[in-house]
Amino acid sequence: MPSIFTHAAVALGIGACFYPHSSKQALTAGAVCSAIPDLDVIGFSFGVHYGDVFGHRGFTHSLVFAALLATAAMALVSANSPKRSLLLLWAYLFLATVSHGFLDAMTDGGLGVAFFAPFSNARYFLPWTPVQVAPIGLFRFFTMRGLSVFLSELLWIWIPTALLAASAWVLRRERLPF
């Protein structure tokens, strides 16, 4: 899996496409939604196996979970939002959440991602897996192996995300249809 920092950075990059003027509340919710799927590692402490439907990269990495989490987060964030922006907010939160599974499917380790859980526990990787899998655990990330993973994430995720955000900014500034 990419690091939690990388998941949040991608959510903020996606948010740049949705919000021309920073909506701190929406962007914060997107960053949180992008990290929540990895809470499934708590299951290891309760005997949930990695390959189980509720194991790591299982249900919490699925499209169904992304839709449910986006709906719940939207309900929490949208108290003061105009009705017309609710669909935009939901779409952003859904994409921020679902980006987690797609980033994990780009890594070179693990069992793959159960995108279609709970209907299927089949695990998938993308055809291209250039990102080194990050070690599980905060302290393991701050090692030489963690540095190697971060450099991989920088090249394959952070730079493209920065280019996406910059492109969205330029297109808005030029007032091109988007």
Model's pTM, two decimal places? 0.89
Tokens coding 44: 């290891």
Mean pLDDT over 69-98 rounds to: 88
Q: Which of 19-33, 81-95, 97-111, 139-153 shows the highest mean pLDDT?
A: 97-111
Model pLDDT, residue 77:
87
Nearest to 26 by CA among 95, 94, 74: 74
> Distance from CA of residue 97 to its chain's centroid?
5
Residue 136 scores a pLDDT above 70: no
Question: Do residues 10 and 30 touch, judged by C-beta distance below 8 A?
Answer: no
pLDDT digits (tens, 9 = 90+) for 7-52: 999 999 999 988 766 688 899 999 999 999 999 999 999 999 999 9
CA distance 158 to 4: 12
Round the average pLDDT of the chain to a whole number and report it: 89
